[in-house]
Amino acid sequence: MSTEGHHERRTFRDNLFLDIKAASLEFLGTATFILLGLGGVQAGSISAGSTVERTMYYATSLGLSLLISAWLFYRITGGLFNPNISLALCLVRVITPMRFVLYSISQLAGAIAGAAILRALTPEPYNVNVFLATNINKAQGVFIEMFITAALVLAVLMLAAEKHEATPFAPIGIGLTLFACQLFAINFTGAAMNTARAFGPAAITGFPYTGHWVYWVGPFLGSLLGVAIYAFLKHSRYWNINPGQTAMDPERSPADPVDTFKSTLTQSDDTGARRSGSLTRPSASTDNRREPNGGLEKHGLNNSAV
């Protein structure tokens, strides 16, 4: 019995059971990501260091946490840990609406659990909430979160949802994308790009900062923007723009540049000889009568590459 046939005969109850199982494991994965990632943020916040050093510490902690957690759960749930990624995958029909709803709930709950464990295990002050910098208004915050979320969404869609030779290594690219976005936005908005990441610590601490809605609206718009860019790339048949880019056959590599240069020189010399010969010889017909193949091989005129 084929796997496809087995999937086709699943009942709604069977699918719901699988969705609930996946959501429960997504809860565990999200809690792991939040605990590891924000644990590094908490450790960095109570350590001495310059602003640049702390920024690098926070970005590295969150980027590596996503890379590791996503790789651990990649073959189990997809390793999303983010309602905004779940929304994007639902819009492109990678996951069903039911799984999207269950995933979003489990991701928000997992973020709360991870943030609660972190608060219980580490000393005060608890410095892992995201908030807008004093020189950033709410509109700027929304658009910053939108663009960095769109970058993360596009990384997931192009590296994980799109199937190619590098797909098994998608968590590396996704983690590095988060790292880069953290470097850009962490000093402006905290670089949440994930409503669950913002919601978990805020719920534990009683929402101490105003403007929390920014971390719902911005990432939501980022999901839509990332999906729109992905849809444009798919509709444009992006794989035809630079074909063979993911090929692994060495024979499809560029030719030896030295051999290519020599071949170019040889062809140039042959072309020059033919042109000069046409001026000095009375006619090609004389040679054609005296030589095999009408003289075409000697003068290079029977070469299909010419």
Q: Residue 46: its pLDDT value, please?
A: 85
Instruction: Give the Cα separation of 300 and 154 in Å (integer).
Output: 53
User: For residues 128 and 125, what is the distance between their CA atoms, to the nearest angstrom?
Assistant: 9
Report the pLDDT value the prediction gives residue 8, as an integer from 0 to 100.
57
Confidence band of 278 (pLDDT split at 50, 70, 90): low
pTM for the full predicted model: 0.82
Q: CA angle at residue 260 from 254 to 261, to 5 degrees?
A: 135
Q: Long-range contact list for 227-234, CB < 8 A, 24+ apart?
A: 227/88, 227/91, 227/92, 227/153, 227/157, 229/150, 229/154, 230/88, 230/92, 230/153, 230/154, 230/157, 230/158, 231/92, 233/158
pLDDT of res. 119: 96
pLDDT of residue 296: 36
Average pLDDT score, the chain: 87
First to last CA, the chain: 56
pLDDT at residue number 62: 96
Backbone angles phi, psi at 125, to 5 degrees: -80, 155
- Lowest mean pLDDT of 68-77, 90-99, 104-113, 249-258, name the range: 249-258
- Nearest residue to 79 (alpha-carbon basis) of 194, 186, 180: 194
Q: Which run of H or E residues covers position 107?
A: helix 97-121
Query: How many Å apart are CA 154 and CA 225, to the nearest integer?
Result: 9
The pLDDT score that the predictor gives to residue 28 is 97
Question: In the predicted model, is pLDDT for residue 299 greater than 50?
Answer: no
At CA 224, angle to CA 163 and CA 166, rounded to 5? 20
Backbone angles phi, psi at 245, to 5 degrees: -65, -30
- Give the model confidence (pLDDT) of 151-206 as tens digits: 999 999 999 999 988 899 999 999 999 999 999 999 999 999 999 999 999 999 99
d(CA 41, CA 259): 54
Q: How confident is the model at residue 295 (pLDDT cuts 50, 70, 90)?
A: very low
DSSP conformational letter for 293: G
CA distances to 89, 109, 154 from 231, in Å: 12, 30, 10
For residue 89, give both structure tokens: 């995958």
Lowest-confidence region among 149-163, 200-214, 287-301:
287-301
Say what the pLDDT of residue 151 is: 98
Q: Taking CA 42 as the corner, what is the angle to CA 220 and CA 135, rounded to the nearest 5 degrees? A: 55
Residue 236 binned pLDDT confidence (cut-offs 50, 70, 90):
very high
Q: Are the C-beta atoms of 208 and 129 separated by less than 8 Å?
A: yes
Please state, for a pLDDT cut of 70, what percent of the chain lies above it.
Answer: 86
- Tell me: pLDDT of 290 over 80: no
pLDDT at 183: 96
Query: 280 pLDDT exceeds 70?
Result: no
Give the pLDDT confidence score for residue 260 in this predicted structure: 87
Q: Where are the alpha helices (DSSP H) in 46-169?
A: 51-73, 83-91, 97-121, 138-156
Residue 212 has pLDDT above 90, yes or no: yes
Lowest mean pLDDT, pick from 106-115, 132-141, 228-237, 262-271: 262-271
Write out pLDDT tens, residues 5-46.
Answer: 444 578 888 899 999 999 999 999 999 999 999 999 999 988
Query: What's the pLDDT score for residue 270?
Result: 73
